[in-house]
Amino acid sequence: MEFLPITKSEMEARGIAQPDFVYVIGDAYVDHPSFGHAIISRVLENRGYSVCIISQPNWKDPQSVTTFGRPRLGFLVSGGNMDSMVNHYSVTRHRRKTDSFTPGGVMGKRPDYATIVYCNLIRQTYKDVPILIGGIEASLRRLGHYDYWSDGMKRSILLDAQADLLMYGMGEKSIVEIADALNAGMDVKDITYIDGTVYKTKELDESLPTILLPAFEEIQKNKRLYAQSFKTQYGNCDPFTAKRLAEPYGKEFVVQNPPQKPLTMSEMDAVYALPYCRTYHPSYEKLGGVPAIEEVKFSLVSNRGCFGACSFCALTFHQGRIVQVRSHESILAEAQQMVKDPDFKGYIHDVGGPTANFRHPACEKQMTKGACGGRQCLYPTPCKNMNADHSDYVALLRKLRKIPGVKKVFVRSGIRFDYLLADRKDTFFKELVQYHISGQLKVAPEHVSDAVLCRMGKPKNAVYNQFVSKYFALNRQYNMNQFLVPYLMSSHPGSTMKEAVELAEYIRDMGYNPEQVQDFYPTPSTLSTVMYYTGLDPRTMERVYVPTDPHEKAMQRALIQYRNPKNYYLVREALLAAHREDLIGSGPKCLIRAIPPKNGSHGAPPAKAGKASKSIHSSVGSAGAAKKSGKPAAGPGKSAPKGRSSAPSRKGKR
């Protein structure tokens, strides 16, 4: 196995006079199937096309994209494994300090709106070479969209990038069809028929059924019209039922073809069997390597797609709701290869995907008729036609545990606890607790208020409480001492100060002391982002309360961390605004004392001894000790849940 060329000398050493494609990427070059550029380039190579990589070019220098000269067929451009703006900025729009997709974790090696900048850089030198864009940044900005960082509507990225064709979703099939068409001599402007692509045209093909969306100029002026347009887009993400969409821009149109069909098991196996080097290019070693590899090096991707359809998650718009899986044989072969790595210590860190415990489509009809347009699979309650069965996943995990050299197999991807409870058999739940938790299980209830959970597309809080009770009952049954770490989100649309206080009271009662809080991050093309911008729920067109004021958002965030003395005055202000003065004082239910903390002491009264042992989130067998020591019984979350695009993640980002 060898890396693809990143220098002209490497290209020449492989006997390539002129590459078919030059791939410009915003990340460091990591030849691992968790990185989109690795999969796309290896798929092309497998079909006989040569690909050279330009990683993180100097966007201020037009010569930085001329390393390999003019490609025979075209340039491929991707901003990276995550949106460049999410990569650069926190939800408070402050610049992040590190970039895990850059050698040494150095920040600043790619520009803001990287896909657009790279394409315009290419156009300065190569006026007529086809430019094909893809990746998460292009995929989620394929039509007119709200951009949080500029706080306004932006056009389709296809136009601003001056690109010829956009691939959205998972692009293995699309890229091969495009490459074959270009190789056959077709003009890129005539490649308008491939599923999973977006193109621009001055005339619509009247022979094809097409839904005409409101013009960009109209949705730019009318938020309600944008919400309606997004609802149409959201309803046309299914590869079996989606219609072609056309968005007018003055005298031209941006046209979105229906999504590509899901990969079959054999097709997905073939993608993961390609000859990846499974690490970053050796030239990065002296720079400290690429931090992002650490999360995925000893993890296994078993599925893609998610029928959970949380409102704040972009997976529905990107990977789709139909779950696709690899075979046991494919995953076991990768695991056996992993065991031979000299750095492998016996621990498989994860076996999953966007949602770990989804190993087949939600119901039998999805692979032929698609996902239901008018109903979600799990929300507000599990569909009666849903096949809640973990048998295949259990069988896979058992096989992995038996591989010589494997000590432990962990499940660290997010699991859907409502889907877990819908399975009448407890086999997976029992074995999860017994064998697959590395000290703590991370789950994502996100909130406790049913009014907010409704906007999130999440199950009611009672379902989460049922899961928690059963989790700790199983821990007691197997004499395990494991934590439960809930991900919680502040300031999501629908959350007034009343709901924020309700969440703080829940945290108080469960003895949880979160060190990190996820404030809602409006990323491109999610239902929640549209709610944030328009104040409307696109599904129903009902008005939604949206906390947008930075100070109010800070108060809601502070309530979740009310024990932190630095948050005392914000919490006090929030409680007064919510007319909850009863929570200020020295009573057992109070969140903060009436007198500000001094000398760094906590602003909340100390918990009574032994109270943690009653907490549903306590560590079995050591809750009292946790309280006594002042440490949280359930440890704080360390990263955003899988599939949420507010933090770097390997799940669903291609």
Secondary structure, 3-state, 50-106: CEEEEECCCCCCHHHHCCCCCCCCEEEEECCCCCHHHHHECCCCCECCECCCCHHHE
Residue 597's pLDDT is: 83
Residue 481 contacts by C-beta under 8 Å, 6 or more apart in sequence? 475, 619, 620, 621, 622
Whether 258 is in a domain gets the answer: no
Query: What's residue 414's pLDDT?
Result: 87
Residue 15 lies in a domain: yes
Asked, for residue 70, whether it belongs to a domain, the answer is: yes
User: Does the residue 538 lie in any domain?
Assistant: no
pLDDT of residue 465: 96
- The answer to whether residue 133 is domain-embedded is yes
Residue 213: count of CB within 10 angstroms of its CB: 25
Which pLDDT belongs to residue 467?
Answer: 97
Predicted confidence at residue 654, as pLDDT, reads 35
pLDDT of residue 361: 94
Q: What is the pLDDT of residue 578?
A: 97
Task: Output the pLDDT for position 642.
Answer: 34
- Low-confidence stretches of the chain (pLDDT beneath 50): 601-654
Structural domain includes residue 186 = yes
Angle value at C-alpha 115, between 109 and 120, nearest 5 degrees: 100
State residue 638's pLDDT score: 32
User: Considering the domain boundaries, does residue 97 fall inside one?
Assistant: yes
Q: What is the pLDDT of residue 599?
A: 58
pLDDT at 542: 97
Residue 433 lies in a domain: no
Domain at 58, CATH number? 3.40.50.280
166: left (phi over 0), alpha (psi -120 to 50) or beta: beta
Give me the pLDDT at residue 539, please.
95
Structural domains in the chain (count): 1
- Give the range of the structural domain holding residue 159, as residue numbers without chain letter: 8-196
